[in-house]
């Protein structure tokens, strides 16, 4: 008998058994915050956990929560929920009969049962600490008069638990026994100080020792001094427990001592001056001689409520060295860190006592080429830090404490010696929300846009969502906040951050229901807010519900949102839609495009707010209000159209005025409005004429009407105005964040930030329409997700060959990753980068180069590229063929030295290489999907141009012969819908691929204007996909509105899809052409698939 193989088998079986079934829950959260969570001041917190299971298609059928004061949580001595039959694994409210106590540590764990009735083991214990649940818990007094405060005290016995509760406004830094407490910066988060201040909780058990102890606090002006002009003040309370059970409290009062700190000047806008000669070593340690210090003064409070800071603090996130150091003038050194962001510099220096080193910060260099930084767009903000050396022979290191800057470049003067890249580094800080979204593309320009959105968003999360990070503003503009909310929630864990911001909105809300343009309300803006800016209140509430499934936030703010919408109703009833009050409208469209009426955008947001409020009422079960506001919306639609729609167009007929009614679905003639939109886009050369509002909605609307191809062309355009233009313009350093203006380098300095997030809404479209991650209309929190990659136009005929996207929902990671292999492959890259060309994992090798041009070629992958003879390198095809033919993939360095000059008449500042190749294998498609446990998904697999479609998951067929084939675990059904196979799937990871018989592809048909084009499919087939349709002239010298008619494809699809033959009249009236010339020769060109 062979014992050893049997033992191995038993061991493997035991390992498999241990990993099978429901796993212990992970990622335990309390009110969005991970363990250990310090500072809970909510008496009924909500619990969330993530589930994992070895099987597909799993849901939770029951859970059990234990809450205890014991770290082992062997029993639920505070709360044992028992086995609760429920699928709810997010936002489960505390249900214990014992009320939670202030200043107490609690531990909790959870277990769950799957849909087979099998139980998991319990999770590892998680911890949360309550702060002060009642204002009476505060024993401390507000003190001030000095920006450096200290207190010594003595401890008898070993300390078993110690918590600090501190509010230092504007900002503070806390030290105990000579060491800084915590790694947060610029605490606490700023508020409307007459209404509310925030305190922070620290676990300092390890820092309090038996015997003598000392507390030190530095205070800075922060926003309390900047916006409200008040002196710094402190509220401090230390509660500790000794091993003997003694409970002791140390509070801020007139027993504290105060003095002036080495921070001799600090301003959020202007910077900080630090005189190291004024340091007092040991001031924050025990036994320091503070005999010359003064008694701290008991002062009045800032006013209002003091509540716990329950969102991620500002922290240092990243450090970079300079990519380039120049010396444009004697003694002046300019550091280019290669990335624009929010933060400060870290300075290493050695020199004589009294040496003054100065740092100035900027986003760009002077355009005159002198190499000096340009600070003109900072307006009055000086953004200058000064460090005065104490003369330490070992060297000194300095970072600011109570300011921050927005910068890519730093100017260093007064430095003793010649600085190196090690002597000055750039440090990025922002509210430390976790990055929860990830998306990447085969096309590099989209990756750079996503990069710019990410860093732009991070830079403008500074305890509130700000507009910019560099000039004398940096405020919580509500317009910027509402436009970026969906994007931010897909990229970051924004739940607790937005919960705090919504509280600030409500703090500033007037008794009449009015909200303000800026929150906290200081320096700028109006009350009541422009309706498009005030839309942030309902928008953020609703987006938090949609993305996170947070019903509690809807309940909490329903009354406030309702009061705001009721105020707008009263105003619009008085003024009418056409004269509805407004201030800003579709802010900053690209010159020379006109801005549409702000009455139009205000009225749009009123209708949108009514719709959102009605939906909120349904969510919380208020059916009467749901009916009321739905009726108001229904009655408002004809009033909106009467006010703004005439002669077949809205307002002045720009893209925004077409897009917004299409988004709401309220146009009297949808086909006409769609044609107007597409023609408007074509008239701009497939570019934007939108400001911040229209830009958010135009991408979503284009995809919703089936024109993701147009949206993608706009997103990938490298010419003005576009996102990619910002890092392809050649006028200043490539943008690494988003600009405030479409053409910032050509505009004046007054309002011209290079780090604004208000155009960042495109990132939401990336996830929604390129990765295809969305959810069913009745779903919230992605409990019923929809994975729907773009249509065949994108999958087969675009520069995109792959997209990988994922978001971390409250249930876990939801991902969609698609790849096209074989067939035609397009790729583009700019000068001095690398072009990558690949046939994909199943696409064979590169068999033909159909087009290659280094210069400034025209056209696109779908319609075909065209040479720009004035800007084309003749060696382009040869270089690409030499590098790529016969290979599965290749890389080409895009450099003039390789391709040669692109022609003497080429004036393009940024040249590009465009390539279209043919692979030896036919086009194929793979879609990889991950669906979290306790959720389900509808997965859309495109049929591409195949008939007799077969869809497989792994090696298992799920669709064949026109019907669903059961058998794949986790998959319950599949149906054919339009050009897709829609698969119903439960939790788990899946790999779908599609194959079949290639559809019939027609030749290209054309006819001249005034004639009808008759096209047919072979017997038994019908039109399934219009590959190309174009109505216009072919001469590049003709006006752009004559060369392109944006509605061409839409018109042909409307006339032909689903039919076996159709007739199309080639006429201006048919295609709503904007071309006024009657002499130019126009053609209608069509190519199509039949199946």
Residue 785, Ramachandran bin (φ over 0: left; ψ between -120 and 50: alpha; else beta) = beta
In whole angstroms, what separates CA 57 from the centre of its chain? 30
For 504, the token pair is 């600030």
Q: Which residue of the set 272, 740, 980, 1041 is catalytic?
A: 740
For 30, the token pair is 């309390």
Please give the backbone phi and psi of residue 774, each rounded to the nearest 5 degrees, phi first. Answer: -150, -165
Q: Which helix (H) or strand (E) holds 886?
A: none
Task: Report the distance separating Cα 1078 and Cα 1012, nearest Å.
Answer: 18
DSSP 447-490: HHHHHHHHHHHHHTBSSSB-S-SSSS----BHHHHHHHHHHHHH
Task: Report the distance separating Cα 297 and Cα 289, nearest Å.
Answer: 20
Task: Report the distance separating Cα 530 and Cα 694, nearest Å.
Answer: 16
Distance in angstroms between the alpha carbons of the first and the last residue of the chain: 63
Whole-angstrom Cα Rg for the chain: 32
Helix 536-548 and helix 495-508: axis angle, to 10°? 150
Task: Report the distance separating Cα 830 and Cα 908, nearest Å.
Answer: 12
DSSP code for 833: S
Task: Report the distance separating Cα 186 and Cα 202, nearest Å.
Answer: 15
Our answer to whether residue 740 is catalytic in this structure is yes
- Partnered with residue 324 across adjacent β-strands are 336
Our answer to whether residue 543 is catalytic in this structure is no
Task: Report the distance separating Cα 155 and Cα 159, nearest Å.
Answer: 8
Q: Which helix (H) or strand (E) holds 7?
A: helix 3-19
Task: Report the distance separating Cα 271 and Cα 275, nearest Å.
Answer: 14
Q: What letters, b where the CB count within 10 A reaches 16 and e where it falls short, cover 649-660?
A: bbbebbbbbbbb
Instruction: Tell me the residue length of the chain.
Output: 1091
Report how far apart, in Å, the C-alpha atoms of 387 and of each of 117, 322, 416 are.
Answer: 66, 20, 12
Q: Which residue of the set 272, 473, 726, 828 is catalytic?
A: 473
For 204, the token pair is 């300092």
DSSP code for 122: P
10 Å Cβ neighbour count for 332? 17
Closest CA to 372 of 333, 341, 428, 408: 333
Closest CA to 391 of 424, 350, 348: 350
Q: Check whether the bond before 36 is cis (ω within 30° of 0).
A: yes
Closest CA to 499 of 562, 453, 578, 433: 433
For 1052, the token pair is 């042909």
Side-chain-facing half-sphere of 317: CA atoms under 13 Å: 19
For 601, the token pair is 């955008």
Task: Find tokens 């009455």 and name the residue.
Answer: 599
Longest dimension (CA), the chain: 102
Closest CA to 359 of 427, 430, 429, 280: 427
Please give the backbone phi and psi of residue 977, each rounded to the nearest 5 degrees, phi first. Answer: -145, 120
Nearest-5° Cα angle at 611, 605 to 617? 130
Sign, CA dihedral 619-624-628-634, equals: positive
Residues 6+ apart with CB under 8 A from 932: 50, 51, 782, 809, 811, 812, 813, 814, 987
Active site residues: 473, 740
């Amino acid at each position: 008998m062979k014992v050893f193989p049997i033992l191995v088998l038993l061991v493997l079986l035991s390992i498999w058994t241990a990993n099978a079934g429901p796993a212990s829950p992970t990622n335990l959260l309390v009110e969005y915050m991970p363990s250990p969570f310090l500072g809970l001041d909510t008496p009924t917190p909500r619990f969330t956990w993530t589930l994992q299971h070895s099987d597909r298609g799993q849901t939770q059928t029951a859970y059990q929560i234990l809450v205890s004061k014991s770290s082992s949580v062997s029993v639920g001595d505070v709360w044992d929920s028992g086995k609760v039959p429920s699928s709810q694994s997010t936002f489960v409210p505390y249900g214990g009969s014992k009320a939670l106590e202030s200043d107490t540590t609690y531990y909790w764990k959870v277990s769950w049962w799957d849909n087979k009735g099998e139980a998991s083991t319990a999770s590892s214990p998680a911890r949360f600490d309550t702060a002060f649940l009642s204002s009476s818990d505060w024993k401390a007094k507000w003190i001030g008069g000095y920006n450096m405060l200290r207190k010594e005290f003595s401890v008898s016995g070993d300390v078993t638990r110690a918590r600090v509760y501190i509010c230092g406004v504007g900002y503070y830094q806390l030290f105990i026994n000579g060491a800084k407490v915590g790694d947060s910066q610029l605490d606490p988060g700023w508020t409307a100080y007459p209404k509310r201040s925030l305190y922070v909780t620290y676990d300092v058990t390890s820092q309090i020792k038996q015997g003598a102890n000392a507390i030190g606090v530095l205070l800075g002006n922060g926003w309390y001094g900047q916006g409200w002009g008040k002196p710094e003040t402190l509220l401090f309370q230390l509660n500790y427990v000794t091993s003997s059970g003694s409970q002791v409290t140390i509070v801020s009062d007139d027993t504290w001592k105060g003095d002036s700190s080495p921070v001799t000047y600090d301003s959020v806008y202007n910077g900080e001056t630090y005189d190291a000669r004024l340091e007092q070593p040991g001031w924050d340690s025990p036994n320091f001689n503070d005999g010359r210090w003064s008694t701290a003064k008991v002062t009045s409070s800032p006013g209002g409520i003091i509540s716990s800071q329950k969102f991620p603090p500002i922290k240092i996130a990243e450090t970079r060295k300079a990519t380039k150091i120049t010396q444009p003038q004697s003694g002046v050194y300019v550091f280019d860190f290669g990335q624009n962001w929010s933060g400060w510099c870290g300075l290493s220096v050695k020199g004589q006592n009294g040496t003054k080193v100065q740092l100035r910060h900027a986003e760009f260099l002077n355009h005159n080429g002198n190499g000096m930084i340009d600070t003109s767009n900072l307006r009055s903000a000086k953004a200058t830090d000064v460090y005065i050396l104490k003369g330490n022979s070992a060297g000194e290191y300095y970072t600011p404490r109570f300011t921050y800057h927005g910068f890519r470049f730093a100017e260093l003067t007064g430095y003793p010696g010649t600085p190196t890249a090690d002597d000055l580094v750039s440090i990025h800080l922002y509210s430390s929300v976790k990055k929860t979204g990830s998306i990447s593309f085969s096309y590099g320009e989209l990756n750079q846009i996503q990069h710019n959105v990410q860093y732009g968003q991070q830079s403008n999360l500074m305890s509130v969502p700000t507009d910019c990070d560099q000039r004398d503003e940096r405020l919580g503009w509500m317009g910027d906040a509402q436009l970026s909310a969906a994007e931010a929630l897909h990229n970051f864990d924004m739940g607790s951050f937005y919960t705090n911001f919504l509280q600030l909105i409500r703090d500033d809300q007037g008794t009449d229901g009015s909200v303000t343009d800026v929150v906290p309300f200081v320096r700028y803006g109006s009350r009541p807010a422009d309706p498009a800016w005030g839309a942030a209140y309902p928008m953020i509430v609703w987006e938090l519900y949609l993305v996170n499934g947070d019903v509690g936030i809807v309940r909490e703010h329903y009354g406030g949102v309702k009061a705001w919408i009721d105020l707008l109703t009263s105003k619009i009833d008085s003024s009418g839609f056409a004269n509805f009050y407004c201030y800003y409208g579709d802010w900053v469209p690209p010159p020379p495009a006109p801005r549409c009426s702000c009455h139009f955008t205000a009225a749009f947001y009123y209708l949108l707010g009514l719709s959102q409020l009605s939906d909120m009422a349904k969510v919380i079960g208020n059916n009467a209000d749901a009916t009321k506001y739905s009726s108001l919306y229904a009655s408002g639609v004809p009033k909106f159209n009467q006010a703004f729609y005439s002669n077949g167009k809205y307002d002045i007929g720009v893209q925004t005025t077409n897009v917004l009614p299409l988004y709401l679905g309220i146009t009297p003639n949808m086909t006409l409005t769609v044609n107007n939109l597409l023609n408007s886009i074509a008239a701009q050369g497939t570019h934007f004429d939108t400001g911040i509002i229209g830009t958010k909605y135009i991408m979503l609307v284009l995809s919703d009407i089936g024109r993701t191809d147009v949206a993608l062309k706009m997103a990938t355009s490298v010419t003005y105005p576009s996102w990619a233009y910002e890092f392809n313009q050649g006028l200043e350093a490539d943008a690494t964040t988003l600009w405030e203006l479409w053409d910032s380098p050509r505009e004046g300095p007054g309002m011209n930030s290079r780090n604004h997030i208000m155009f960042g809404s495109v990132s939401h479209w990336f996830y929604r329409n390129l990765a295809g991650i969305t959810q069913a209309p009745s779903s919230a929190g992605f409990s019923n997700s929809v994975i729907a990659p773009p249509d065949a136009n994108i999958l087969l005929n675009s520069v995109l060959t792959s997209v990988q996207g994922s978001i971390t929902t409250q249930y876990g990671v939801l991902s969609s990753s698609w790849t096209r292999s074989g067939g035609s492959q397009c790729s583009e890259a700019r000068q001095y980068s690398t072009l990558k060309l690949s046939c994909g994992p199943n696409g064979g090798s590169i068999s033909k180069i159909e087009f290659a041009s280094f210069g400034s070629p025209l056209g696109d992958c779908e319609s075909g590229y065209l040479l720009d003879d004035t800007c084309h390198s003749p060696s382009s095809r040869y270089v690409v063929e030499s590098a790529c033919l016969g290979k599965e993939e290749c890389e080409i360095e895009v450099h003039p030295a390789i391709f040669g000059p692109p022609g003497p008449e080429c004036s393009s500042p940024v040249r590009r290489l465009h390539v279209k190749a043919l692979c030896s294998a036919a086009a194929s498609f793979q879609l990889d999907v991950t669906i979290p446990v306790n959720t389900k998904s509808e997965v859309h697999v495109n049929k591409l141009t195949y008939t007799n479609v077969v869809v497989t998951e792994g090696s298992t067929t799920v669709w064949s012969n026109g019907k669903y084939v059961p058998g794949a675990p986790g998959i319950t059904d599949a149906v054919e819908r339009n050009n897709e196979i829609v698969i119903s799937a439960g939790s788990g990871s899946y790999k779908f691929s599609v194959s079949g018989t290639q559809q019939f592809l027609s030749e290209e048909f054309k006819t001249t204007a005034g004639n009808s084009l008759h096209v047919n499919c072979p017997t038994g087939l019908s039109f399934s996909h219009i590959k190309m349709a174009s109505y216009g002239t072919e001469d590049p010298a003709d006006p752009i509105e004559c060369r392109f008619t944006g509605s061409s494809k839409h018109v042909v699809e409307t006339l032909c899809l689903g039919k076996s033959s159709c007739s199309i009249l080639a006429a201006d009236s048919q295609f709503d052409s904007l071309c006024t010339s009657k002499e130019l020769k126009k053609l209608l060109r069509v190519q199509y698939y039949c199946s």
